[in-house]
Amino acid sequence: MSAETHSPVREPLHRPAGLAGFAADWASDQRTFKNVSWGKAMMWIFLLSDTFVFGCFLIAYMSARMSTAVPWPNPSEVFALHIGGTDVPLILIAIMTFVLITSSGTMAMAVNFGYRRDRKKTALLMVLTALFGATFVGMQAFEWTKLITEGVRPWGNPWGAPQFGSTFFMITGFHGTHVSIGVIFLLIIARKVWRGDFDTERRGFFTSRRGQYEIVEITGLYWHFVDLVWVFIFAFFYLW
């Protein structure tokens, strides 16, 4: 029975589900995150640490905005674009949001095809995700350029509280860096998938040794997190 179900993937342990399982997992002197590979658990723990980093940035922004005696610029007007004779509020940010959400959708589908071992579709969807990510960074570069020409600096801006400039460059800059790293990460893994590294069990940087496509899911976790952070930045920085 156990011999015929044997596979290169480690056989999952039978544990109770729900709260009893939670208690059993944490109380045991074994691995706590049973049936969760180290790669995935460590990516989650990295993302938890990144949550605190972005959490601190957003709290710093909140404190700056709440404690300034000088009026805060109206983001709706600051990020408006002049299209067809009228100012459309926040339109660039809205398009950036849709691009990032779409990239999250293509990434989720890439993970799906990865587990089906459909190399071509997985690699293509990952490259598509990277392209959406690069588009996002490109639009952010446009947004930065526009604001810099209007006189926004880390120490000031033409419309009021100088902290607006510092928090804007800090938060969007850090998020843009995450997106850029994600694009590079996606392209590296997409190349490995395309080449068939996970079928030939080729060893190398970020490559599982057991021919698993789980690294696609782990890359996806990082990518969805970048999208997740943008949800909060969109709400707190641009809409608030």
Give every CB contact of residue 31 below 8 A, 6+ residues apart in sequence.
Answer: none
36 touches other proteins by CB under 8 A: yes
Smaller CB separation from other proteins, 169 or 234: 234
Say whether residue 155 binds other proteins (CB under 8 A): no
String of contacts with other proteins for each residue 1-30, x by CB under 8 A: xx--x-----xxxxx-xxx-xx--xx----
- Tell me the window of 31-39, 130-138, 184-192, 195-203 that interacts with other proteins (CB under 8 A): 31-39
Q: Which two tokens stand for residue 138?
A: 């490109």
**With binding defined as CB under 8 A, does residue 159 bind other proteins?**
no
Establish if 157 lies at the interface with other proteins (CB under 8 A). Answer: no
Q: List the one residue from 42, 63, 199, 206 that touches other proteins (CB under 8 A).
A: 63
Q: Residue 62, interface with other proteins (CB under 8 A)?
A: yes
Residue 93 identity (one-letter amino acid): I
Residues forming contacts to other proteins in the complex (CB under 8 A) are: 1-2, 5, 11-15, 17-19, 21-22, 25-26, 32-36, 41, 44-45, 47-48, 51-52, 55-56, 59, 62-63, 66-71, 76, 89-90, 94, 97-98, 101-102, 104-105, 107-109, 111-112, 115-116, 214, 217, 220-221, 224-225, 227-228, 231-232, 234-235, 238-240
